[in-house]
Chain A
Amino acid sequence: MSSPPSSTHETPSNAVEVESLTRRYGDRVALDGVSFSVPTGQTLAVFGPNGAGKSTLLKVLATLLRPHEGVVRVLGSELPGEAWKVRGRVGYLGHEPALYRSLTARENLRFAARLHGVDDDRVEELLDAVGLTRRGDDRIDEFSRGMRQRIAAARAVIHDPPLVLLDEPWSAIDPGAIGLLEPLLGRGTGRTRILVTHDVARGIAEADVVIGLLAGRVHVAGPASSAAAVEAEALFA
């Protein structure tokens, strides 16, 4: 599971390239001329206060929202025109677990697995990985928030995507269980990761590159080992 994700597609040097991205909700500008790139296999941490546009950015990259202006290239495909090429190659973990509450954990994962053409062995492998094999036949509405988050994390990587988009992936998970997610979402997986978090210290520790958003604009950007990270920590921690 910790081996680099398999892909039959040609690997671009930058997994994500964003130039002058603008996205609006009605008259409100959520992202205003955002530009950055993420080399394949690296981790970008995105920081910013509530309403800065972090979740909107992830949704645009996940093809859930269309960019209104600018160029967005994900895994070598330009959005929104080639969104169909990107779907199925991206793992998305939103800040809400987004699971069918009346279905069991196993049924939720099997549903996602079948949509992605993945066999049921992978479901059992992931239930084991997140430490919930024995609770696999319990309904999601009987799970704690942290357990739901673990199932949602398993679902995000059920198709072994080369790019994962993570919105507060550790929220509600107790410290003991955070380690369970490492083989799925951690640096060792070889996946390109874009990580939105309010936990600035942890985000910097996980990241190769950081950006800080304020009111939809990139306020700080640079390598995680540079002064940009220090400025991000001072601004958003």
Chain B
Amino acid sequence: MIRTAAILFRKDLLVEVRTLQSLTAMVLFSVMAFVLFHFGLDRDTIEGSLAAGVLWVTLLLATVLAVTRLFVAEREQGGFETLLLAPIDRTAVFVGKAAALFAFLVAVEIIALPAFDILLLQGTILDGMPELLAVVLLADVGLAVVGALVAALGAETDARELVVPLLLMPLLVPVVIAAAKASAPLLAEPAASVHLGRWLLMLTFYDLAFVLVSLGVFDYLLED
């Protein structure tokens, strides 16, 4: 199953490298959102819960863009038939897609976090590292797992631009709450890791729960 997931993961990365559709949209959206917050809030610097809220709502909405497009190559170019007719464990499709989405999120954050720092934190983001990195990576797992699940649900519908956000955002509320609560003290002046363990634990449980649910139901999502 891991071997098949790796084949799918490599194919998705290759398609993205060639087209740059999801990554470009996610990066541009994130940076533009930070620019708008910079001018909209009319502040050079924000901190604490406001900063955490701005960061995680922006990353959540950037995730929606990627999730909407996650199965586009399969749907619009007919690759679904290749996958469905292959003698593979269909759970591998979920693992491959979730891994690809996770990779997209990490790639976007490599650009978006410095942009967030420059536009809204005035260079203080490093004060909360490496704890912030742990929060980001755990939240990314949740975003990727739930994103892959919802992308499969929306893949076969013509209204996926509507269906995906409507399904995805409520499911990701716990991730945003936990990630924002964990990040708020790390983005405060001075940075501190207050109650960090509790929120990291919540993110871990959320990730595990949705990994198990997804492994259990994904096969049925790809059935006619």
Most A CB within 10 A of own CB, among B14, B15, B224: B224
Across the interface, do B4 and A100 meet the contact criterion of CB distance under 8 Å?
A: no
Across the interface, do B79 and A88 meet the contact criterion of CB distance under 8 Å?
A: no
Q: How far is B73's CA from A62's CA once the two chains are assembled, in angstroms?
A: 21
B87's partner among A87, A96, A103 (CB-CB below 8 A) is A87
> How big is chain A's contact interface, by range?
20 to 34
Residues in A whose Cβ lies below 8 Å from that of B87: 84, 87-89, 115-117
Across the interface, do A101 and B77 meet the contact criterion of CB distance under 8 Å?
A: yes
Which residues of A (70-126) have their CB < 8 Å from a CB of B?
84, 87-90, 92, 94, 96-103, 107, 111-112, 114-117
Does A155 count as interface, using CB distance less than 8 angstroms? yes
Q: What 0/1 readout, one digit per residue, does chain B (65-76) give for beta carbons within 8 Å of chain A?
A: 000000001000
Q: How far is B85's CA from A98's CA once the two chains are assembled, in angstroms?
A: 13
B81's partner among A66, A92, A114, A139 (CB-CB below 8 A) is A92
Residues in B whose Cβ lies below 8 Å from that of A155: 82
Across the interface, do A107 and B82 meet the contact criterion of CB distance under 8 Å?
A: no
Across the interface, do B18 and A102 meet the contact criterion of CB distance under 8 Å?
A: yes
Across the interface, do A64 and B84 meet the contact criterion of CB distance under 8 Å?
A: yes
Of chain B, the residue at the smallest CB distance from A165 is B85
Across the interface, do A63 and B85 meet the contact criterion of CB distance under 8 Å?
A: yes
Does A65 count as interface, using CB distance less than 8 angstroms? yes
Given A66-B224, A103-B14, A103-B18; A98-B82 close (CB under 8 Å): yes
Residues in A whose Cβ lies below 8 Å from that of B78: 94, 96-99
- Could you list some 17 contacts between A and B, CB below 8 A? A64-B81, A87-B86, A88-B85, A88-B87, A90-B85, A92-B81, A92-B85, A96-B78, A97-B78, A98-B77, A98-B81, A100-B15, A102-B15, A103-B14, A107-B14, A115-B88, A155-B82
In addition to A100-B73, A111-B11, 19 A-B residue pairs with Cβ atoms within 8 Å of each other are A62-B85, A64-B81, A64-B85, A64-B224, A84-B87, A88-B85, A88-B86, A88-B87, A94-B78, A94-B81, A97-B78, A98-B77, A102-B18, A112-B82, A114-B7, A115-B82, A115-B83, A115-B86, A116-B87
Q: Which residues of A contact B (CB under 8 A)?
A: 62-66, 84, 87-90, 92, 94, 96-103, 107, 111-112, 114-117, 139, 155
Q: Which residues of B contact A (CB under 8 A)?
A: 4, 7, 11, 14-15, 18-19, 73, 77-79, 81-88, 223-224
